[in-house]
Amino acid sequence: MNYKSLLLKFSRNSKVSFSQEGEDLIVLEFLKRIKSHNGFYVDVGAHHPFRFSNTALLYQKGWRGINIEADPDLLRAFKRYRPDDKNINVGISSHENTFKFFRFRDKAWNTFSEERALFVEDKLDEKSEVLYLKTTSLNGILSNNLNIFKGISILNIDIEGLDEIVLTSLDLEKYKFSIILIEDHKRRWPDNSVISNLLYHHNYVELAKTNKTYIFVEDKLIRSE
């Protein structure tokens, strides 16, 4: 069954999730609560148009956004199956540079983090392929592209180990997303998490968590329910 057939099948049942752990259904339920039905997303480390995607279900429902993916092989599928999005082939870091990119057979494990790559190599008993890829800042991409989008905004960050670096380098005053989904591999308790403390400081509250992903929303959205 091809992807278009899968998309048609999934469209008949909104309870089907493209996310790895149902994150998209949590977001959709919250959007219903605040009576918001349109907007845009920015997906950093987008990986795949459908597999493990926190934005595919939104795309299906008419949302559009920016998909950012470092692996050029993966981005081809976005251009084919999500052509109405803006699809950008670049790595994200705190600044423009060239970094090692560790690629695996299952590309969901791809990462710029050497520490994370060594963990995955041991876990999978597989040696990664090393590429040298250019990176840029998320601030730079947003400054050049956000003017084409309107409505409620969702930021999804999943770059296997360097999520904290991306978030801490983002200007959260200038780019105030309504909902932020992010993995936090270092979090043990909320008060010792750089990610959580940063978002609390910028008036976000934790809406929900799955095994891997934390979902934060602006506190004013909670108050407006």
Q: What is the 3-state secondary structure (H, E, C) of 87-130?
A: EEECEEECCCEEEEEEECCCHHHCECCHHHHHHHHHHHCCCCEE
Taking the model in full, what pTM does it have? 0.86
> What gap in Å lies between CA 105 and CA 89, rounded to an integer?
19
Whether 188 shows a pLDDT value over 70: the answer reads: no
Whether 3 shows a pLDDT value over 50: the answer reads: no
Asked whether residue 62 is domain-assigned, the answer is: no
> Which domain covers residue 108, as residue numbers?
88-212
> What gap in Å lies between CA 55 and CA 81, rounded to an integer?
13
Q: How confident is the model at residue 36 (pLDDT cuts 50, 70, 90)?
A: confident
Whether 108 shows a pLDDT value over 90: the answer reads: no
Asked whether residue 15 is domain-assigned, the answer is: no
pLDDT, mean of residues 169-196: 84
Whether 1 shows a pLDDT value over 90: the answer reads: no
Q: How confident is the model at residue 26 (pLDDT cuts 50, 70, 90)?
A: very high
Asked whether residue 92 is domain-assigned, the answer is: yes
Q: How confident is the model at residue 16 (pLDDT cuts 50, 70, 90)?
A: confident
Asked whether residue 182 is domain-assigned, the answer is: yes
**Percentage, residues of the chain above pLDDT 70:** 88
Asked whether residue 6 is domain-assigned, the answer is: no
Asked whether residue 148 is domain-assigned, the answer is: yes
Q: How confident is the model at residue 6 (pLDDT cuts 50, 70, 90)?
A: very low
Instruction: Give bridge partners of residue 100 from the DSSP assignment.
Output: 132
Comparing CA positions, the residue from 22, 25, 41 lying closest to residue 178 is: 41
Asked whether residue 106 is domain-assigned, the answer is: yes
> What gap in Å lies between CA 58 and CA 41, rounded to an integer?
9
Q: What is the dihedral of CA 98, 68, 137, 117, to 10 degrees?
A: -50
Q: How confident is the model at residue 11 (pLDDT cuts 50, 70, 90)?
A: very low
Domains of the chain: total: 1
Asked whether residue 170 is domain-assigned, the answer is: yes
What sign for the dihedral angle of Cα 66, 72, 76, 81? negative
Which of helix, strand or coil describes residue 50? coil
Average pLDDT across the chain, whole number: 86
